[in-house]
Structure 1
Amino acid sequence: MQTTVLLYRLYDVADEINLETVETILSAQSTTSRLRLSRIPPKSIHIQNPPVGVELGGGKVSLGGTDYDVFYSARVYDLGVVSIIMRVGLAPGTGYGEMKRLSLALEQQDDYEKLFRTQLEKLQQVMSPALVKKGLGDVEEDFTVFFFTDWQEDWDPLPLLLGEEGPFSDWVRRETLRNSFSYSPDDLVIITWDSALVYDASGSTDLPDLLEFANSQLLELRYYDGLLTGEMEKMYDDLALVERGSSFQRLRHYRSIMARLMEVVTEVTDITERIHNSIKVTEDIYYARIYSAALGLFRTGVWMESIQRKMAVIQQNYSMLSDEIVTARATWLEVAIVLLITLEIILGLLQVF
């Protein structure tokens, strides 16, 4: 790939996506491919079910008063995520000055955002049969990669990564460049919360692809954290409503609430396990460090802790409801035993008299 800007928008569109069906549907219209990192041996990084990539065509976008040719592609993940990528076509030999101007334009205008949704809606319609429990959530991720095949040491990466002219303090510069990695004189990657600078003289897109994968995991964790928040609120509302009914009605509603809670816990446990196992960097230390740094910077660990904390609260409430049902059943059993004993005594007395 030549020097360019890659704009990513990631969306959660379903609980799960059947990638085999996606390949069958999309390959009839365009060339599809499975994600594979090109610069390392396949055994160095294991992707359990590689996402399906497809080209979506081109168009034009006005950024900062200049019209650019853009090229759209998508990557479909089995976890229910669709990533729409806009690649800005830049003339050969485009240097730092044009990239800086483009970075500032991207930060100052957002009228191009609707173009991502348009591409997503078209893709969703086509691959609808492959979507399991489809529905567009309100959580999305955006990420920008400034990709260079030539980089000079005197170029300042901060205006690109922050979308600002500067000047910048030493603290801002130090914090922005904290996650910088380089394997050889011909490559460099700097990662921030919502952008990255990647220099690779060979044109390999391995690192942008790896960062996109990390963003897809972040998106799913955010989505399921929000799902658990909604389920907890619904649980408390249902419990407050049930308390107004009779004892017998409460037990029946408790069982219904417990069934829903168990379904949620099972679903979230399954998806978090799949997120953990979706990609494993095993032998390549350089890629492993970059991937781990990205996950740390995106705070995926914080989102996972939040999910586990909410799961613990839900499971605790499940146990409390279960104990209450067991206690109520024991109480009714004791009452039944007392009534039977009383009935037996009464019948005995009637026989005597």
Structure 2
Amino acid sequence: MQHQQTTFDPATTDRQRILPAIASATLTIYQFFDIGDAIDLDHAQRCLNNPSERRVRLRARQSESIRIAQPPLRIDLGSLTVLLADTAFEGVLRAVVYDLGAVEMAVEMRPAVPLSWEDAATLFAAVQELPPALSGRIATALNDLEMLIRPAISRPQRSPVVEDYCVLIVDRLDPPCTVADLADHPVVRATLLGERRPLSADASRLVTAISYYLDDLALLSWNGALLIEPDAAAAATAAEIIAFANVELLLIRSYDAALDARLPEVHRRIAQAQRHFTMPLVRRYSQLLSDVQRLVAEVTEVTEQIDNALKVTDDVYWNRLYSAALGVLRVRVWRDGVDHKLALLRETYAMLHADADSERAAALEWAIVLLIVFEIVMALLERSGVI
């Protein structure tokens, strides 16, 4: 979608024009990478050998209801200057390492304030395709980090799938207002999508709104999130939950791509095995059956680990936020695709197993027939006095 460069129409209604300015905010740009099957976080921390690295635990209202099986490892990577929309921003670069084999690279910066909603929309539009200099800096930092923690990575291999996301946390508006009233504001929703013109009613449905108190609001979409939250701890928790949803999307997409690559290979090996002659009772599909079974077991185990990595128990708000993030990122759609491919592999395994059993049964039947014929021939020869 091309982003229009026109400003807001001055003929809009009063409700559209009267918006508080963003008086204080933090913009975080995320990129998520899959670098291996799993990462031993304790080993990775020893590899880094730096007290600034620490395991992250959520700290916010009812955060004890959020259970993370393995709290990720956060690493501060220093400051940098980011050029976005012809404006230079000072920011910090950090990495968050997850035991599931994913690494989150995040650039956090504070835009100059007051910030208009039009300027915020420009920033959201600018980060949808990162500047080459910033992408290069992130890639270099990731390569360096991966080399350092490589001994802690199980089966290290970089997936071609990369996820991007952006979160703008607004901790103060000027003048103060009832934030929940902004949930349906067309200009605010357009800002999240990087559009500088108000959206139609249909386009507004691309944004999901969640609110807990009158002074907080979470707007979520496929490209980013806008969090209006005066409580810094709650804002950090919300951002981490959204980041974890992106990690889940990354891993599901990575395994979906891996299955896409493996399925044609399985079909090729089936065709190759069927063309080759094998001796009776020799299991022509034995290695293929073993490989298919191993692949199904690996993917099933990983998807279960993803499902159990983060659990929200008795806090309705965090549960809704996590579910909404998974929804706007279409994680369920990708998961259904993986489940469908796993079902195809299981059906293939069952078919090959049945084919192998059928071949063995046929071979045994022929062996029995030959034994009977042999016994008959021997009996006839014995009766005729030949033997």
Q: TM-score, normalised by structure 2?
A: 0.84
Per-residue Cα deviation, 1:229-263 (whole angstroms, up to 9, x for no partner): 22211111112222221143996441111111001
Alignment partner of 1:304 is 2:335? yes
Deviation for aligned residue 1:337: 1.7
Per-residue Cα deviation, 1:10-67 (whole angstroms, up to 9, x for no partner): 01100111111112222x1351222222113453111111111111111112222222
Residues in 1 aligned to 2:25 and 2:172: alpha-carbon distance in whole angstroms: 8
Deviation for aligned residue 1:110: 2.9
- Give the structure 1 partner of residue 136 of structure 2: 114
Residues in 2 aligned to 1:17 and 1:166: alpha-carbon distance in whole angstroms: 44
Instruction: Look at both structures and tell me which one has the larger radius of gyration over its CA atoms.
Output: 2
- Give the structure 1 partner of residue 231 of structure 2: 202
Alignment partner of 1:127 is 2:127? no
- Give the structure 1 partner of residue 68 of structure 2: 47
Equivalent pair of 1:12/1:136 in contact (CA under 8 Å): yes
Alignment partner of 1:265 is 2:286? no
Q: 1:64 to 1:30 in 2, by over 3 A?
A: farther
State the one-letter code of the partner of 1:123. Answer: L
Residues in 2 aligned to 1:321 and 1:60: alpha-carbon distance in whole angstroms: 57
SS class of match (2:127): helix
Residues in 2 aligned to 1:80 and 1:331: alpha-carbon distance in whole angstroms: 46
SS class of match (1:40): coil
Tell me whether 77-86 or 31-40 shows the greater mean CA deviation. 31-40
Per-residue Cα deviation, 1:128-173 (whole angstroms, up to 9, x for no partner): 1011010111111110001111135578323431112114223323
- Give the structure 1 partner of residue 272 of structure 2: 241
- Give the structure 1 partner of residue 215 of structure 2: 186
What is the RMSD computed on CA atoms of the aligned residues? 2.1
The counterpart of 1:281, out of the listed 312, 317, 325, is 312
Residues in 2 aligned to 1:167 and 1:42: alpha-carbon distance in whole angstroms: 36
Q: 1:94 to 1:248 in 2, by over 3 A?
A: farther
Number of equivalenced pairs = 348
Equivalent pair of 2:192/2:226 in contact (CA under 8 Å): yes
SS class of match (2:75): strand
State the one-letter code of the partner of 2:202. Answer: W
- Residue ranges of structure 1 left out of the alignment (5+ in a row): none
Residues in 2 aligned to 1:87 and 1:94: alpha-carbon distance in whole angstroms: 18
The counterpart of 1:254, out of the listed 285, 288, 292, is 285
SS class of match (2:92): strand
Deviation for aligned residue 1:214: 0.6
Q: TM-score, normalised by structure 1?
A: 0.92
Tell me whether 267-276 or 249-258 shows the greater mean CA deviation. 249-258
Identity %: 31
Residues in 2 aligned to 1:108 and 1:126: alpha-carbon distance in whole angstroms: 28
- Give the structure 1 partner of residue 90 of structure 2: 69
Equivalent pair of 1:181/1:189 in contact (CA under 8 Å): yes
- Residue ranges of structure 2 left out of the alignment (5+ in a row): 1-23
Residues in 2 aligned to 1:253 and 1:75: alpha-carbon distance in whole angstroms: 46
Residues in 2 aligned to 1:199 and 1:29: alpha-carbon distance in whole angstroms: 34
Per-residue Cα deviation, 1:212-233 (whole angstroms, up to 9, x for no partner): 0011011111111111222211
- Give the structure 1 partner of residue 248 of structure 2: 217
Q: Matches of residues 79-158 of structure 1 in structure 2 within 5 Å?
A: 79-91=100-112, 93-96=113-116, 98-107=119-128, 110-111=131-132, 112-151=134-173, 156-158=187-189
Residues in 2 aligned to 1:180 and 1:253: alpha-carbon distance in whole angstroms: 56
Equivalent pair of 1:40/1:284 in contact (CA under 8 Å): no
- Give the structure 2 partner of residue 25 of structure 1: 47
Equivalent pair of 2:280/2:360 in contact (CA under 8 Å): no
- Give the structure 1 partner of residue 263 of structure 2: 232
Q: 1:247 to 1:85 in 2, by over 3 A?
A: same
